[in-house]
Structure 1
Amino acid sequence: MYGHQQGDECLKLVAQSLNDKTTKLTEGLVARYGGEEFVCVIPKHSEEIVKQFAQDINQQIEQLKIVHEKSPVSNYVTVSIGLVTLIPKHATATDMNSVIKKADHALYQAKTAGRNQAIFYTD
């Protein structure tokens, strides 16, 4: 309906918002993880701060008012967020794969629970 150029522009606006918010909070990292998925790594912060960060991101993206006419959730682009916290001891590649799987699972839960929300992964 919107085309590749408009989709790319939407992704750029979302990425810029994520980057702006992440870098204000910490020396964190934002990276594109998939087609329309992003990863935000936010070191040295508590679970409460990360949850507030996610809520702020949801609001910030909605305030961009990027039109999404066919969305069953909103007239504007929204984001679903999967959260995981980790206190590393000696992080290994296997540990990081596990963290990514947990975050992906939380993201899937946020999408299936109605989108436009953050889900925090707990075991």
Structure 2
Amino acid sequence: MRIGELSRRSGVPVPTIKYYLREGLLAAGELTSPNQAHYGPGHERRLRLIRALLDVGGLSLAAIGEVLQAMDDPGQPVHEVLGAAADRVTPTGGEAAGPELEDAREEVAELLRRRGWQADGR
């Protein structure tokens, strides 16, 4: 899909996608011509993750970059990736404070239980 379609499907404006590309938060698409690229489902998932970390987690773009870097490291154990994310989530939950934050925490806790993973609660 082209960047316009990626924007439509992810709900992230094109200028924001271009900013994430420049900052290295989102990998470049496959070039189809000198000024056009093709983006796949992985790009859409990555955008949704960035927006969740930003909007729900209250992370700064710098902190999101650190979390994504940990995720992209194939030698990084899953619990360390989860720890990198958990350590950077603001206690207030950014704009999602209140019932939404509690729902998100419960959903994460349930996911961890189902996977048999443990978080140290730092």
Bigger share in strand: 1
Question: Would the TM-score normalized by the shorter structure come out above 0.5?
Answer: no
What TM-score comes out, normalization by structure 2 length?
0.31
Q: Which has the larger radius of gyration?
A: 2
Give the structure-1-normalised TM-score.
0.31
Q: Which has the higher helix share?
A: 2
